[in-house]
Chains A and B, each alone.
Chain A
Amino acid sequence: MIPLPQPDQETRFFWDACARKELMILRCNACHLYIHPPRPACRRCGSTDVGPARVSGRGVIHSYTVTAQPVPGYEPPFTVVLVDLEEQEGLRLVSQIVDVEPQDVRIGMPVEVTFRQASDDVWLPFFAWRR
């Protein structure tokens, strides 16, 4: 079974948004820095005025690994990716790429979020090749 997220007060918005098929990232309302993983303050300006902001869901693959052994919830092979979101340099999400053969995955490949249901109430933001 896929290990499901245990949302807390700082991360609940992320998973609630995913369940609506929206990708939201925490953002500083003072200096507009995106903050991921979510933290209660802005590391750049120190503001505690932070809140969810909707992002495009577009990005490029920063790195990846094709895992060849089973892990809970997934049968090999599957491709774990780090996605650089287009909104901010170095703003990365861990995810999996779907519908692309492992040997075809490349660093720099443009991708777009696509949501997959993992349980009754959990949707996971996966990524697909943006051709």
Chain B
Amino acid sequence: MATLRDVAIVGVGYSEIERRSEKSVTQLTIEAAAAAVADAALTFQDIDGMASYPGSYDSIPCFTLIDAAGIPGVTWFADISGWAPAAIAPVIDAAHAVALGSCQTALVFRSVKRNREKAPGVVTTPRVGGDMQFRAPFGDAMTSQWLAMWARRHMHEYGTTEEHLGAIAVTFRDHAALNARAPLRDPITLDDYFASRVVTTPFRLLDCDFPVDGAGAVVITTMERARDRPHTPVKVLGGEVATGERPDWEQWPDLTTMASKHASDALWRRTGMSAADVDVAEVYDGFSWLALCWLEDLGFCEKGEGGPFIAEGNVRLGGRIPANTHGGSLSGGRLHAISHVIECVEQLRGEAGERQVEGARTGVVTAGGGTMGGALLLGTNY
């Protein structure tokens, strides 16, 4: 086994992010990839590794980007399939590949172009197989419904309220107002939150991420190479992906604690660090409650105290642990956490402008909900 090398993120970039982009998903991906490579002052000729999580949405695999953009030297690649914590999983895989020497400089991307014909969770086949045969016939086919039942259980056991969920939406929207790239920037109040239509209780529309078309990409290389790049290297301090003994949306033993708990515990155990070392948290918020659960399971507050913790302003800019400083997925758009990774990098470089967390040098990024979780710890000055 080769000696493990320290690795860092040296480039980040986005495509345009639009509610409805006229560009193809491949165009969007090339834009993001080119922006990330340029940010690192590199070219596509320098890329020899690639990873993505195409997921079940419209996206592209590595081969399409290699072929379309002309990235000739890729020797290591990974398209992650099946259930996975979105954009965190390929970032961790690429960091491992660089650390092990499988490649020197890897490009990681996540592209999302919405399917106009079919909303997520809508079953269009007359018969449903696999484990979904125990859900879809009962009208239970959307991720929002599965996680709504986790959130409801949390409310039952800990007294979490709709006002607490609303505080998440309001807080992240206030952060998005300071982010020129966020699609939803007009401030909202709790009244606006309660006026938004119910999707599936306890989730309202403002508890759900905002679907957009767009792509994000990051460039990962060795710490040694990173020192020659123009930006402050953002070192990958740790990255863990986790599930539990019953990776099933219904049979998971304790619905108040997601795989976020296992990923968080592994992250702290492996890095020897804790929530107390973290200056900024970009936590997955495909639905509002997921962010609450991640904040609890990472240890920023006691289990069950996430609602009051957020409602008291602790995760606001200027609070104890600013979270989702770009607006998260709720107001920054559903990019499946690649935007969370990029935001954390920009914060740690000190390049987040109006929404900069003063003196941020360590940040945690997470992705996934329910039965899957991924957590990434990034830092400068290490």
Contact = CB atoms under 8 A, between A and B. Distances in A.
A29 interface: no
Contacts of B140: 80, 94
Contacts of A37: 131, 134, 248, 251
Nearest to A91: B251
Given A63-B152, A72-B122, A74-B139, A3 B200 contact: no
A118 B137 CA distance: 9
Contacts, number: 116
A93 B123 contact: no
A122 interface: yes
Given A6-B128, A7-B133, A11-B133, A66 B138 contact: no
Interface string B132-174: 0111111111100100111011001000000000000000000
Nearest to B125: A3
A2 B197 CA distance: 24
A62 interface: yes
Given A80-B149, A82-B250, A94 B138 contact: yes
Given A3-B123, A3-B128, A93-B134, A63 B197 contact: no
A69 B200 CA distance: 7
B78 to A, nearest CB: 28
Contacts of A126: 138
- Interface size range on B against A: 35 or more
A5 B127 contact: yes
A8 B133 CA distance: 10
Contacts of B250: 82, 92-94
Interface in A1-58: 1-8, 11, 36-37
B145 A65 contact: yes
A90 B252 CA distance: 8
Interface in A70-90: 71-74, 78, 80, 82, 90
A96 B133 CA distance: 14
Contacts of B122: 71-72
Interface string B194-209: 0001111111000000
Contacts of A68: 197-201
A71 B137 CA distance: 10
A69 B142 CA distance: 11
A113 interface: no
Residue with the highest number of chain B CB atoms closer than 10 Å, among A7, A66, A118: A66
A14 to B, nearest CB: 8
Interface of B: 121-129, 131, 133-142, 145, 148-150, 152-153, 156, 197-203, 248, 250-251, 253, 255
Interchain residue pairs A-B with the least CB separation, the first 5? A5-B133, A6-B127, A65-B148, A6-B129, A63-B149
Interface of A: 1-8, 11, 36-37, 62-69, 71-74, 78, 80, 82, 90, 92-96, 102, 107, 118, 122, 124, 126
